[in-house]
């Protein structure tokens, strides 16, 4: 393994915190990975990693070397990709993670357009509501909905998503249509449990330019966006979701928006990717395509 391959291996060991996982990703044995890192440390004359039976962590020198490796490897990929584009379009494998409903309802139906433009890019798309560790899991970018916490990731805004409060027509026929917040007394909601915290997120309403949490009883609690809407359609109560997620049902009349005068502030949506000085051409064109796809409000 040459010097740059050794740097690539070292970076993956640091990011994954595991010799075994790094070796599997690079299709080498764990013993070979350990030998290569020992040889790298011997050549540099410093200890890069602290190894225990449970984890691998960097020394101070190792963390500094990792930062340099990451920048150098990104520059190499950028340079090689730029040169190859003289004769070829962006190409290679790209790992992406999307919220479940957004992926199924919006992104996947539009993907043939992306593939037609960039047929040499192979997409590996993860669909789900859990938070993904991009660096540790080797994911190139993720799309996230909501206000972002402080992060070392780069965020590029995509759109704002109008939120609606709704319930099934059957549920409202049985329990009445609330026209004011006070009329929510006696109603039920579908509880959405955060995949991150495990706690249910309360409904909220915008009153006098402030978002006011509104606790309501629930007979069903779920931790997935698709199940959240399905429980609402089954008549288990009121939900709050981005409009795109229930647009078809609203148009068909199976779901009905309620309390539009208390509608929440639209949710921001962004694509996030690790902080590197250079983006690979395949990641750049995919992000540009997402910006085009989500231009305006959904």
pLDDT tens by residue, 123-132: 999 988 777 7
As a whole number of angstroms, the distance between CA 209 and CA 126 comes to 36
Interatomic CA distance for residues 113 and 242, integer angstroms: 24
Q: Is the pLDDT at 31 greater than 70, yes or no?
A: yes
Residue 297 has pLDDT above 70, yes or no: no
Query: In a 3-state reduction of DSSP, which class is residue 282?
Result: helix
Confidence of residue 68 (pLDDT cuts 50, 70, 90): confident
pLDDT tens per residue, range 244-295:
999 999 999 999 999 999 999 999 999 998 876 567 888 999 999 999 999 8
Q: Given the DSSP bridges, would you call strands 121-127 and 154-161 parallel, antiparallel or unpaired? A: unpaired
pTM assigned to the model: 0.71
Q: Round to whole Å and give the CA distance between 133 and 152.
A: 11
pLDDT confidence tier of residue 53, bands split at 50, 70 and 90: low
Enumerate residues 6+ apart whose C-beta is below 8 A from 52.
none
> Which tops the pLDDT comparison, 56 or 87?
56
Q: Is the pLDDT of residue 85 over 60?
A: no
Provide the pLDDT for residue 2. Answer: 80
Task: Say what the pLDDT of residue 188 is.
Answer: 96
Contacts of 222 (CB under 8 A, 6+ apart): 190, 191, 192, 193, 228, 231
How does DSSP classify residue 236? -
The structure tokens listed for 115 are: 């593939």
pLDDT at 168: 97
Looking at residue 73, what is its pLDDT? 82
Helix (H) or strand (E) holding 285: helix 281-293
CB count in 10 Å sphere of residue 176: 11
Q: How confident is the model at residue 152 (pLDDT cuts 50, 70, 90)?
A: confident
All domains of the chain, ordered by start, with CATH? 3-84 (1.10.10.10), 92-160+268-293 (3.40.190.10), 163-265 (3.40.190.10)
The percent of residues above 70 in pLDDT, for the chain, comes to 92
The helix/strand/coil state of 143 is: strand
Q: Provide the pLDDT for residue 1.
A: 58
**207, pLDDT greater than 90:** yes
Mean pLDDT confidence for 220-246: 94
Determine the pLDDT at residue 115.
Answer: 95
């Amino acid at each position: 393994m040459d010097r740059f391959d050794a740097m690539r291996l070292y970076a993956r060991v640091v990011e994954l915190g595991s010799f075994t996982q790094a070796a599997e990703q690079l299709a080498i044995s764990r013993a070979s990975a350990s030998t290569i890192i020992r040889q790298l440390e011997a050549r540099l004359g410093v200890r890069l990693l602290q190894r225990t039976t449970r984890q691998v962590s960097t020394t101070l020198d190792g963390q500094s070397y990792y930062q340099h490796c990451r920048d150098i490897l990104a520059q190499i990929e950028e340079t090689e990709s730029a040169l190859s584009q003289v004769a070829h379009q962006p190409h290679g494998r790209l790992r992406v993670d999307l919220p479940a409903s957004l992926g199924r309802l919006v992104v996947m139906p539009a993907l043939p357009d992306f593939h037609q433009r960039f047929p040499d890019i192979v997409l590996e798309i993860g669909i789900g509501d859990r938070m993904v560790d991009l660096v540790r899991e080797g994911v190139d970018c993720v799309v996230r909905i909501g206000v972002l916490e402080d992060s070392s990731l780069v965020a590029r805004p995509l759109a704002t998503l109008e939120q609606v409060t709704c319930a099934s027509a059957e549920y409202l026929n049985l329990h009445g249509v609330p026209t004011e917040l006070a009329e929510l007394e006696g109603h039920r909601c579908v509880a959405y449990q955060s995949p991150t915290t495990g706690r249910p997120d309360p409904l909220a309403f915008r009153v006098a330019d402030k978002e006011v949490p509104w606790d309501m009883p629930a007979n069903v609690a779920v931790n997935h966006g698709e199940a959240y809407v399905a429980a609402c359609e089954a008549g288990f109560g009121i939900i709050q979701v981005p409009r795109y997620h229930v647009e078809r049902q609203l148009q068909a009349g199976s779901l009905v928006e309620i309390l539009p005068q208390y509608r929440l502030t639209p949710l921001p949506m962004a694509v996030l990717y690790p902080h590197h000085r250079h983006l690979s051409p395949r990641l750049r064109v995919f992000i540009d395509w997402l910006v085009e796809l989500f231009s305006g409000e959904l």
